[in-house]
Structure 1
Amino acid sequence: MLQFQSVTKQNAAKLRKYYERCNYGLCEYSVGTKLMWRSTLHPTWTEAAGCLIVRNCIDGQVVFDYPVPGPEGNEDAALDLIENYCLEEGIPPVISVVPECKAGRLLSRYPYVHVSDVRTWRDYVYYREDLQLFAGRRYSGQRNHINKFRSKWPDAQFRPLGKDDQTIIEAFWQDYEAEFPKGDNAKARDELKLAQKMLAMAGKPWFLAGGMFDGDKLIALSLAEKCGETLIIHIEKALYSYTGVYPTLVQAFADAFGDGCQWINREDDAADRGLRTSKLQYGPAKLAPKYRFEPQNELLTHVKAIPELKTERLTLSALTEADIPAYNALVLDDERNRWWGYDDVGGLGGPVTERSFFDVANRDFENRQAANFAVRLDGKLIGEAVLYRFDCRGGAELGCRIDKAYAGFGYGTEAFTAVAEWALYKVHLSRVVAKCFKENQASYKMLSSCMRKKGEDETFFYFEKVV
C-alpha cells in the first residue's frame, strides 16, 4: 500500500530530482507549482517503482499526476500501484494533468475511459528563441513596446535575484500593491499573496529569479524553474507605471536563463480574459493539453440491472427485501465466513441493523462497484456470488459463499462458473480472478475445477479465468 507525505519546502529537493529531468513540459510537474498552489492541490507524494507518484486532493476528490520516472523507473508498475491503492481505498483511479506524450499509453491501458481536456488549464508554451529574440513581423508589437521602454528608461538593467535581495523584493511588493489594478478581486489578491511567499524562496537551488532595475529600484521580477527542456515561469510581476516593462522582462529573462531549454512555459490563464489576451499576443508555439483520464469499469457501460442467470439446478438473481433474513444469516455466520476474507460487520463502519448488508449490496451496485447475486435453490437463498474489485483494465474479482447446510453438493462451483461466464461474455471482461486461503481445501478444489491457478503467497492461492 502506498504511503504518502505532504509536499513541503523541506522535502522539495526530493521532488526536484525527478522534475529536473522531466520532459512533460507542464507546469504541474514542478516544485514551484506544488508549493505555490498546495492549499488548492493539497499535494502529497511518495517514491515507488523508481517513480515519483503525486496524489492531489482537489475539491474533495483524489486525483493523481502521471508518474514521473527516475533513471530506472517503471511507469507501468507505478500505475499498477496507483490502481491498487484506489481499489483498496474504494475510489476511482483518476489520472489528471496527463501530458500529451503519455495520453496514448493510458488510452491503450484502459478499455473504457472518459477523457477531458479543458481549454482553461492548457499551458502556453513558447519557443525559447521566440521570446529571447522577438524576431519577425508577428513580434513587431513587442519590439515597439521594448523600444519605448528603453528610450524612456535607457539605464534600466536586468540582473538575477537571490537570497540577499529580500529587502529589495519586499520594497517591490509595496510599490506593486500601491498600483495593483485588481485590488478588489479576491482571487487576484490571493494569487498575489502566494507569489509573495514564493519570491521569499528566491535563492533556493531549484528556482531561477531575476528582475529589471531602474537604478536601485526593482520594477519587475520573475521566478522560474527548469524542468527537462522547459523553463517554467511561475511568476511574472511588473509595475504598470513602467510602460513596456513586461515584454522587456520576458525577453531579458529568456536571454538570461533560457540556455539549454527548447521551450518556455508561461503556465495557464485560469480563464482570465486579460491574461489570455496577453499570453496569446506573445505567439505561443502550442497550448499544451492537460488530459484528465477517468477510467470506467465495465458495469458502468454494460450492466443496467443485475440479470437472472440459470444453471442446471440454481437460479442467480438480484437480492430482494424478502431475502434479508436469509442473507443476514449467511453474512453473520462467523464460523463459515472465516474463509470469506472480508469482515462484513467491520466494513459497515457503524451499528448492524436489519437492512445493513442488503443496503450495502444495493449501494455497491448503484455505484457500479460490485454486482451481488443471490444464489437460489428452488427459490430459496442459499448463498451469494459477488463480482467486485473492478480494476478498470478488463479485470474483476469473483467471490462465492454457500450456506453451510448446502455445502458439499457442488452448488458453489455451479454458481461461480455461471457468474464468471456472465462476466467474461456479457460484461465483456477479459479476466476474472479469485483467491482462497491456503487452509481452505474446499475452495481450493472448487476454484481448481473452473479456473487456472495463477500463483500463491504466504496466505492465498490465486486463480484466474481469461478470454
Structure 2
Amino acid sequence: MVDFRIGNYLLKPFTIHTKELMEQYLQEVHSSLSDYSFAANFMWLANSSGFYTIVKDTFCLFILNGGELSMLLPPLGKKERINDAIIECFEVMNLNNSSKYLSRIDYVDEYYMTNFVENVEGQDIFEILENYLIEKKLADYVYNIDDLIELRGNGYHTKRTEINKFKKNYPGFTTELLDPAIHTEEIIELFNRWVINRMKYMPKVELDAFLDGINYERFAIKRILKYYQEMGLFGMILRIDDNVMGFTVGERTNETTATILIEKTEFDILGSAQFIFREFCKLLKEHYGSLYINAGDDMGFENLKKVKLSYRPAKLLPKYSIYQKN
C-alpha cells in the first residue's frame, strides 16, 4: 500500500509501525470496548486496506473498501478535540467517496457518542440529529473475571459439568503459554479442521455470513502469529496427547479489563472450549491483574450470542455507528 492524499490530508498505510503512534492517542481514550486497541484493529485488517491520518490532533483510522472510505473507530485523542475531528473526518470521506451515504464511523463508544450529540460546538442536539443518524449496533460482553474462574451457583452448573467431563475424558491434557515459534503450524492446522467441521453444522441462514468472514479470520490468525511479540499479546495452548487441540489469545485493554481476541478448540472435543476459557481467565488475572474480561461481540450470530449470554455477563457495552443524513 502507498500513501494517498485527500484534500489537505495525507493518509498513510496502517502497519505494525503505526502501533506506537496509535497507542499514544489511545492513552487519552477511556473505553473498555475490545475495539479500542492497536492489536484488535491490526489483526482484522490483515486482508484489507487500512489507512490513518491526524485530524485536529486526533488519530483517525480509515478502511478503504472498493474505493470507498469509512472509519473503523471515532477519532482518538483528547475529549475536547474529538467532536470537531468527527465533523472534519466526514468531510475527508465525502471528498473521496462516490456518495456521502457511504461515509460512516463505526465502533463508537457510548460515552463518545453521547459527547458528540450533546457538545458539538455551535450546534444544539436538534441540529445534530438533523444532520447525523446514530445507529446502535452490536455490544461487547463483559464479565467479572472471578465469576468465570469460580463458576459458582446454579447458573454455571452446566459449565462446571462440561469441564469435569472434559478432564475425565482427556486426562492427558496439558496447557502451555503460546509461542509462535513453536505453535504456528499446529494452530493453522487446528483452525483448518475447525472450519471444515463448523461448516457441517452451520445453519444455512448463517452460512453466507460465515463464509464471508472466515477468510478475514484466517488472515487475522496468521497476522497474530506473525506479529505476536510486536503487538504485546498473551496466549495459551491446550494439548491433548501432545497435539494442539485449542488456543486462545488476549491482551490488556485497560487497567481493569483484559480482552480475549480469539479462541478456537477442536470441534468434537466436548468441554474443551469451556475448559480453555476458564483456564485462560486464570492466567489473564494473574498476568494483568484484571477484574473484568471482555469477550467481544457476537458478530450477529445467534448461536454465539447464546453462548456468551450463558456465561452471565456483568454488563453489555453497546457500540454505535454514525452516518450522515443528507
Q: Structure 2 length normalisation: TM-score?
A: 0.77
Deviations 1:283-339 (A, max 9, x none): 12222111223355xxxxxxxxxxxxxxxxxxxxxxxxxxxxxxxxxxxxxxxxxxx
1:242 aligns with 2:269: yes
User: Judging changes above 3 Å, is the alpha-carbon distance between structure 1 residues 45 and 197 closer, same or farther for their aligned structure 2 residues?
Assistant: same
1:20/1:226 contact within 8 Å kept: no
Q: Which residue in the other structure is 1:394 paired with? A: none
Distance in 1 separating the partners of 2:92 and 2:189: 51
Distance in 2 separating the partners of 1:5 and 1:183: 42
1:208/1:225 contact within 8 Å kept: yes
Distance in 1 separating the partners of 2:74 and 2:284: 27
Q: Which residue in the other structure is 2:313 paired with? A: 284
- Report the 3-state secondary structure (helix = DSSP H, G, I; strand = E; otherwise coil) of the residue aligned with 2:230: coil
Q: Which residue in the other structure is 2:283 paired with? A: 256
Distance in 1 separating the partners of 2:27 and 2:278: 23
Q: Give the 5 Å matches for 1:134-283.
A: 134-165=151-182, 166-173=184-191, 175-177=193-195, 179-182=197-200, 185=207, 186-187=211-212, 189-201=214-226, 202-228=228-254, 229-258=256-285, 259-283=288-312
Residue 2 of structure 1, CA deviation: 3.6
1:23/1:227 contact within 8 Å kept: no
2:238/2:245 contact within 8 Å kept: yes
1:116 aligns with 2:148: no
2:139/2:317 contact within 8 Å kept: yes
AA aligned opposite 2:10: Q
Distance in 2 separating the partners of 1:98 and 1:256: 30
AA aligned opposite 2:308: K
**Root-mean-square deviation (Å):** 3.0
Q: Which residue in the other structure is 1:420 paired with? A: none
AA aligned opposite 1:150: K
AA aligned opposite 1:140: H
Q: Structure 1 length normalisation: TM-score?
A: 0.55
Residue 146 of structure 1, CA deviation: 0.6
User: Judging changes above 3 Å, is the alpha-carbon distance between structure 1 residues 49 and 86 closer, same or farther for their aligned structure 2 residues?
Assistant: closer
Distance in 2 separating the partners of 1:196 and 1:272: 20
Distance in 2 separating the partners of 1:222 and 1:20: 26
Q: Give the 5 Å matches for 1:337-376.
A: none
Residue 237 of structure 1, CA deviation: 0.4
Q: Which residue in the other structure is 1:97 paired with? A: 107
- Report the 3-state secondary structure (helix = DSSP H, G, I; strand = E; otherwise coil) of the residue aligned with 2:252: strand
Q: Percent identity?
A: 20
Residue 31 of structure 1, CA deviation: 2.4
1:65 aligns with 2:73: yes
2:151/2:159 contact within 8 Å kept: yes
User: Judging changes above 3 Å, is the alpha-carbon distance between structure 1 residues 205 and 44 closer, same or farther for their aligned structure 2 residues?
Assistant: closer
Report which of the two structures shows the higher radius of gyration computed on alpha carbons: 1
- Higher helix proportion (structure 1 or 2): 2
Deviations 1:22-69 (A, max 9, x none): 541222212233223326874322345554222334673533622322
1:34/1:41 contact within 8 Å kept: no
Distance in 2 separating the partners of 1:232 and 1:178: 27
Q: Which residue in the other structure is 2:41 paired with? A: 34
1:195/1:235 contact within 8 Å kept: no
Deviations 1:242-296 (A, max 9, x none): 2100011111111112333232222222221221121111112222111223355
Q: Give the 5 Å matches for 1:312-327.
A: none
User: Judging changes above 3 Å, is the alpha-carbon distance between structure 1 residues 89 and 149 closer, same or farther for their aligned structure 2 residues?
Assistant: closer
Distance in 2 separating the partners of 1:255 and 1:173: 24
1:77 aligns with 2:81: yes
AA aligned opposite 1:77: R
Residue 82 of structure 1, CA deviation: 4.1
Deviations 1:172-205 (A, max 9, x none): 3455456444598423532442343234233334
1:7/1:34 contact within 8 Å kept: no
- Report the 3-state secondary structure (helix = DSSP H, G, I; strand = E; otherwise coil) of the residue aligned with 2:239: strand
1:162/1:203 contact within 8 Å kept: no
Q: Which residue in the other structure is 1:52 paired with? A: 59
User: Judging changes above 3 Å, is the alpha-carbon distance between structure 1 residues 57 and 188 closer, same or farther for their aligned structure 2 residues?
Assistant: closer
Bigger relative contact order (CA 8 A; separation at least 6): 2
Distance in 2 separating the partners of 1:19 and 1:248: 33
AA aligned opposite 1:6: P
AA aligned opposite 2:246: A
User: Judging changes above 3 Å, is the alpha-carbon distance between structure 1 residues 140 and 19 closer, same or farther for their aligned structure 2 residues?
Assistant: farther
2:47/2:219 contact within 8 Å kept: no
Deviations 1:423-449 (A, max 9, x none): xxxxxxxxxxxxxxxxxxxxxxxxxxx
AA aligned opposite 1:218: V
- Aligned pair count reads 291
User: Judging changes above 3 Å, is the alpha-carbon distance between structure 1 residues 167 and 206 closer, same or farther for their aligned structure 2 residues?
Assistant: same
User: Judging changes above 3 Å, is the alpha-carbon distance between structure 1 residues 210 and 13 closer, same or farther for their aligned structure 2 residues?
Assistant: farther
AA aligned opposite 1:253: F
Distance in 2 separating the partners of 1:294 and 1:89: 11
